[in-house]
Structure formats: structure tokens, C-alpha cells
Amino acid sequence: MAGRVPSALYDGQTARRHVVGVEVGQGALVLHHADGRVEHWPFERLRRISAHADGRTFTLALHSETGDEVPRDPARLVVSDAGLAEAIRRAAPTLGRHDLPRGAIRRVMVGTVAALGAVALILFVIVPMLAATIAERMPRETEIAFGRSVVAQVEGFLAEDDAPLACEGAAGRAALDRMAARLTAGRTLDYDLRIAVFDHPMVNAFAAPGGHVILMRGLIEAAQGPDEVAGVLAHEIGHVEARDPTRLALRSAGSAGILSLLIGDMLGGAAVAVAAEYMLTAAYSREAEAAADAYALALLAEAGVGAGGLADFFARVAPKAGRMPEYLASHPGIAGRADRARAAVAAPTAPILSETEWSALRAICG
Amino acid sequence: MPTDAGSTVPGASDFTYSGRFGPILRLALVTGLITLLTVGIYRFWATARLRRYVWGSVRVGGDALEYTGTGLEKFVGFLFAVVVLALWLGAVQIVLFLFGVVIVADPRTEEEAITQALAFSASSLAQALALAASSLAVVPFVFFAQYRARRYKLARTRLRGIRFGMEPAAWGYVWRALGHGALTVVTLGLLLPRQTFALEAYMTNRSFFGDARFAQGGRWTALYRYLRHVGIGVAILIAGGVLTGVESGFGPFLMFVGYVSAFLGIVHYNVQSFGWLSRHKTLAGGVGFDARPSTRRVIWIGFQGGVLITILFAVLAVVFIAMIAGTFGGAMQGGGPPPVGALVVSVLGYLAAFVLTGALATALISQPILRHYIETCTITGIGALDGIVQRAHDRGADAEGFADALDMGGAF
């Protein structure tokens, strides 16, 4: 490789093509301009921009902190002579290096943290706040109709052969109504209660928007007396009156779209989204649970029913939580709450249902 | 000997493409596999690597294009776009909820059923409505992303060391795209040429090479001639429908013919309107383009590639199933659940097929079509490029993040 090889140079200022004589010098590539000017491109700053189709020649630029997307000086030297290319490759060992712009790692870290923070803010602050605001303003009729479709959907899922799940035993129904009436006798509720028992072995109960409360047969069977059922019912009424189910539903809806967007079309994304969604919304907050407990205790006290029922039920559910995960999953911190309920046990009380009524309730599903 | 030679390079009026089947297939396979292993995170770097190869293979008057975008900035842009879209979609979902319509996923356990039922309402009509409303809410961002993506790609493309660029005007594009789109729908597609022309002109007239502006010339009515084949296809389709109505066995066949010709007509319109719009673009007043893509060639490349990939997969699937049956067949005889090994192998096979299809489509369809577009284009008045001066660096805004978040990437 002797002498100067004519090569095309674009100076990064204009699109005009300049031809310069290029030679491999001491520690630098030497560029001889037509007007006699001489440029030195140090070997350690030489970077290959793109390989040409022949796989041997390439275009060069100088490493430089320009503040651009890549730290490269805008000038380009097109090396189209294979011999010159080979000589440069030997002289400049850092030719193929990928340089990150200064501060790139820090920008990625900041970006990631900011994005995660923003998404957390949306999921855990903004969406719940919006949900709470809207739940306050939602028309009562919308809420009731919505609750009805929720109950219908749960029923459709739990039923094995599409038979209606709601238990219609007349005596049991009367006992249930009497229980609800005694519990709420002293109060005017915001919602007309729509209480139903589903013929299902799950030990569970839940409230749906618009005054719906569903008790599962399994829960009534697991209870050792009517006061325990009354305690759970009072607790769910507490959720209803606090509009917790509506708020939870709104919140889930808001989070669902965001999570599915975040996970995107990545493989298995849908499953992760569903799982995350479930973890996020399975339970009411501890505050909501505590408020519902307090409400239930007040209701029981006013009705002259022993709050011991609620306490007993919690106390019995807690140690067996492994075997009765349903109620526990949606009602966190049961053990501590049993103690609080027990502490609130008031003076002597009358059972909420007579023996006959209790038997009728237990037999409501026939 | 060295003198300023201006732009006198042999074949200076040609666009050439030097990308080859082997290298791009290898690149697409490797980046596809890494993307799979990183649950999708690598896709930004994969795009950057693929583009560096493709851009570098394009020569304009002897000089290669250069792609300077990085995977890093695309990743950061994506995070930004996700936050904006999350806020917007969250708000939309909650508003939708007020009307009692929400999307429902299939519950898997009893607990999930209750939770979801609490969260989601029921009827399928309501679901369809909600889905439509959610998609509609995203439409403005789709147009926004279209403009931003083009701007980003131009801002990261250089020729002769000089940057391309585009003015930041994405929202203006959104309103125009919504308006023209609505007009086209209302007129049953009759104003499609007007939409095509107006939107392309909006973007072209805001595009630059260095300090020189591109300009879109011509009148939109000229595009009607390329819509003719779609019209013929639709006419055959309608005739077939009428014949089917009067119980003729010939009707369904005619409908099929009409459907295929309408589809090919749309391809023809896309290819030829691109050519016409390119022929009527100018740069810096003096540089022009002559693009003559062939519809027949584009369709043939797509057809050929599709058939090849299908045959390959049919063969691979048969071999694969035979292998699984041979290895695990004994364990499955009893009618019990399939062994874990068979499941793992099947899933791996599925994922490998997924990556292979993408890579083959790039190498067998996307790149050859791109090559055809490039090699049927020539440039006139290239000497005018010499006076063009460098433009300032564009930060690139969201670096195509919205397009990535909305999953609307094109071939490259």
C-alpha cells in the first residue's frame, strides 16, 4: 500500500463530494485535500459506519461527543479501495467499537424508573381515585343493573349444568329476610338489599354493586350458628353501603386496559396480564375491610345480636385458612380482626334467629 | 491528482440495492431468537440492526444511505409512549365503564370468576361496543404514531453525511387523517385518491434533506386511473352476488373472482400510487425522481414467497409431529395427559416456527419487494445535491415509541 489513495470525503457540512488523497500515517489516517490542506484522523477515533456490499470496504467516521444519537462526527470518508481498507483495519483496532453516547446508561435507568413510577402512580393512585370519584357519582339505577349482570355472570360460571343456583326454599327465604330485617332495623340504608343464597359448596360470600349480597351454601353449612352468618352478612352490608364493590369494579376496569397495553403482544402476555390483574384487585383494601367490620359490629350491636358470631367465625376460619382459602383470599388479616370483634362483644344478647328459623335457613337449598 | 469532483460518479442517476438473502436471513433469525429469549425487550435493538443493514445496502448515485438510530433510544421512547397511552386508555376505560360496557376475559377459577364478574359486566353486545370504543380511542394515536415514525426514520437517515429530517407537525396530520378518512368512508371509497394524495403531500412538504425541502406536485385526480382495477373487482363481486341471489351456480364462483381481483386491485393501487407520487416529488427545486414499480412483479414476489414458506412449514410440521409421536407416543397410549416433555418440545417448536416465519418473510418477501422498488427508481438532476447544507440534530421525540407501543411496525 503505497502513496495516496483517492477517496470520497463528505465533510458533514454540505452534501458536496470532495476527493481527498488518503494515506496511512503514524498514529493517524492522513487526508490530503485538493487545496493543499491536510487532515489527521487519529486511529483510536476511527469507527466503521457501514460495511459495503463487497464485505471488505467501508465508510468511516470519527468518534466524537456531538450530542447526537450516536457519538460520531458528521464527516464521512468512503474507503472503496480494498488495499487501503485492509491497511486501516490493521492500524485501527477500535474500528468496530460501538460507543454509547455519554450518559446513555443513566438515561435508560432514569427512563425505566420514571416509566415504572408513572405506571405505578396510574395503577395505585390515579385509577383508584378516578374509580372512587365515579363510584360516588354513578346513578343508582346503573349501579343496580350492573350488579345484576355481575351476579348473573358469577351464577353462570359456578353452575355446572346451567340450572339456576339461587336457592328458593320458602321457609329459608323467610328466615334470611328476617335476619336482614333484624340487622338493619334501626337504619335507613342507601341501597335496597338483594340477598341471595347460591347452591355451591364454596365457603364464601360477596357483595356486588347496587345492594346485591350473595351467600354460598358452603358458608352457611360451615357456620355453627345463625349469629355467625349474621356477622358475615352484616360485614357484606358494610361493603355495600360503602360502595366498595362498585369502586373495585371501576378500578379493575381501568387497570385492565393499562396492564394489557404494558405487557403488549409479548408471548404469554395475556396470561401474565390476567394474573397481575387478579393479584391487584382480588381484595378490598385493609381500610375498606376494617370499615366494613366496624360497620358490621355497629349493626350487630344495634340489633342486639352478639358480635361474638363474627368473632367466632373469623377465629375458626383463620387457623384453617389453608383449607378455606376463599373467604380469606378476599378478606385479609382475619386473625387480628377476630380479636377486635371479640373485644367489641357487648352485653347479653338474643340469638338473631330461632332454632326453627336457623334450621330453615340451613335447608334453604333443599 | 485529487480534485473536487462534484457528483460525477458512474451510474449517478441510479438507486441500487445490494442486500442479499443469506445475510438478512441470518440477521433476522439471530435478532428474532434474542427477542424471543428476552420476552420481546430486544426488539428495539433488533429493528435498529436490521435497518442498519437495509439502509446501508441502498445506494443513491453511488453513495450508501446510513441509519443512525439506536435500539436504546427506541426503548426509552417506548417507555415514554406506554406511560402516555396508559393514562389515556385508563381514562377511556373508566368512562366506558360509566355506560356499563367493559371487556371480559374468560375466567379460569371460581375465585377469578367472582373477581372478574365484579370487575366486568356481561353481554356480548356490550363487549363488542366496548372493544370498538377502545379501538376508536386509539385511532388518533395511530395517525400520530404514523407521522412520528416517519419523522424519526428520516431524522436517523443520512446520505453523504447529511441528515434527512421532518418538521414536528404530527397533530396536524392527525386531524387531516381523521377528516380524510371519514370522507373516504362516507363516499364508499370514492375519495380515496384525495386522501392518499393529501396525506402524502402533507408529509412530503414537511420533509427535508439537509436544508432542502421536498415538494409534492401533481393533482390528486390523477390517482383515479390506478383505482380502476378495484372498481372492476367490486363490480364483478356485486354481479356474482346478484347471480347468487337468483340461484345460479355460477354466482359464488364469480364472487370469488371478484374478491380476488378487488384485492389485487388494491395492491395495484398501492404500488402505482406510490410510483406516481414519487415521480411528482422534487427536492431543492432541481432534483426529481422517476419511479416505475411493477404491480405484477410485487404480486409475484409476495405469492412466490408465501407459497415457499407454506410448503416449508407443511414439511417441517409433518416431520416435527412424527418426531414427537415417535419419542412420546408410548407414554400417550394409555390416554392419560400428555407427558411434560412432549408439551415442552411442542412449545419450543411453536416458538421456533414463529421466529423462522418472521425471518423468512423478511428475506423472501420484504427485502425482494424493497429491492424492486429501489431498483426501478432513478434520480434526475443529482448535481443539485451539492449545494445542500447540513441540518441540525433532531432529538427524535419518542423515537417511534408510539408506533412500537401500538404494535404497528412495517417490514423495516
Q: How confident is the model at residue B229 (pLDDT cuts 50, 70, 90)?
A: very high
Q: Please list every residue in chain A whose beta carbon sits closer than 8 Å to the beta carbon of residue B100.
A: 142, 145-146, 149
- In this structure, chain B runs to a length of 412
Note whether B135 contacts A: Cβ–Cβ < 8 A.
Answer: no
Lowest mean pLDDT among B27-41, B107-121, B373-387: B107-121
* Amino acid making up residue B98: L
What is the predicted pLDDT for the residue at B162?
Answer: 95
Query: B271 near B295, Cβ under 8 Å?
Result: yes
Beta bridge partners of residue A72, listed in sequence order:
A63
3 state DSSP class of B335: coil
Of B70, B91, B351, the CB nearest to A69: B70
Query: B234 near B258, Cβ under 8 Å?
Result: yes
* Amino acid making up residue A362: R
What mean pLDDT comes out for the span A120-132?
Answer: 80
What mean pLDDT comes out for the span B356-371?
Answer: 95
Note whether B36 contacts A: Cβ–Cβ < 8 A.
Answer: yes
Mean residue pLDDT across chain B: 84
What ranges make up the beta strands (E) of A25-98? Answer: 28-32, 38-42, 46-51, 58-62, 76-79
Question: On the CB side of A299, how many CA atoms lie within 13 Å of its CA?
Answer: 31
Q: Do the strands B212-216 and B281-283 form a parallel or antiparallel pair, or are they unpaired?
A: antiparallel
What ranges make up the beta strands (E) of chain A? Answer: 5-10, 18-24, 28-32, 38-42, 46-51, 58-62, 76-79, 194-198, 205-208, 212-216
Query: Could you please report the per-residue DSSP string of A178-207?
Result: HHHHHHHTT---SS--EEEEE------EEE
Answer yes or no: is pLDDT of A324 > 80. Answer: no
3 state DSSP class of A277: helix
Taking CA atoms, what residue in A is nearest to B91? A254
Higher pLDDT: B337 or B168? It is B168
Query: A193 near A213, Cβ under 8 Å?
Result: yes
3 state DSSP class of B9: coil
Answer yes or no: is pLDDT of A123 > 60. Answer: yes
Strand (E) or helix (H) holding B289: strand B287-291
Beta bridge partners of residue A31, listed in sequence order:
A22, A39
What is the predicted pLDDT for the residue at A338?
Answer: 60
Q: Which of A37, A134, A154, A251 to mutate to test the interface with B (most CBs of B within 10 A)?
A: A154
A119 and B83 in contact by Cβ < 8 A?
Answer: yes
Q: Please list every residue in chain B whose beta carbon sits closer than 8 Å to the beta carbon of residue A252.
A: 115-116, 118-120
Query: A249 near A146, Cβ under 8 Å?
Result: yes
Whose grid coordinates read 394515536? B141
Closest to B231 measured CA to CA, from B201, B261, B252: B261
Q: Is the pTM of this model over 0.90?
A: no
Whose grid coordinates read 395511530? B142
What is the predicted pLDDT for the residue at B233?
Answer: 93
What mean pLDDT comes out for the span B242-248?
Answer: 78
Q: How confident is the model at residue B94 (pLDDT cuts 50, 70, 90)?
A: low
Cell of A265: 403482544
A326 and B115 in contact by Cβ < 8 A?
Answer: no
Closest to B372 measured CA to CA, from B267, B295, B288: B295
What is the predicted pLDDT for the residue at A169?
Answer: 87
Cell of B39: 420476552
Lowest mean pLDDT among A82-91, A182-191, B187-196, B403-412: B403-412
Answer yes or no: is pLDDT of A347 > 60. Answer: no
Higher pLDDT: A350 or A5? It is A5
The Cα–Cα gap between B403 and B406 comes to 5
Whose grid coordinates read 345463625? A226
Query: Could you please report the per-residue DSSP string of B21-45?
Result: HHHHHHHHHHHHHHHHHTTTTTHHH
Answer yes or no: is pLDDT of B396 > 80. Answer: no
Query: A110 near A38, Cβ under 8 Å?
Result: no
Buried b (16+ CB within 10 A) or exposed e, B318-348: eebeeebeeebeeeeeeeeeeeeebeebeee
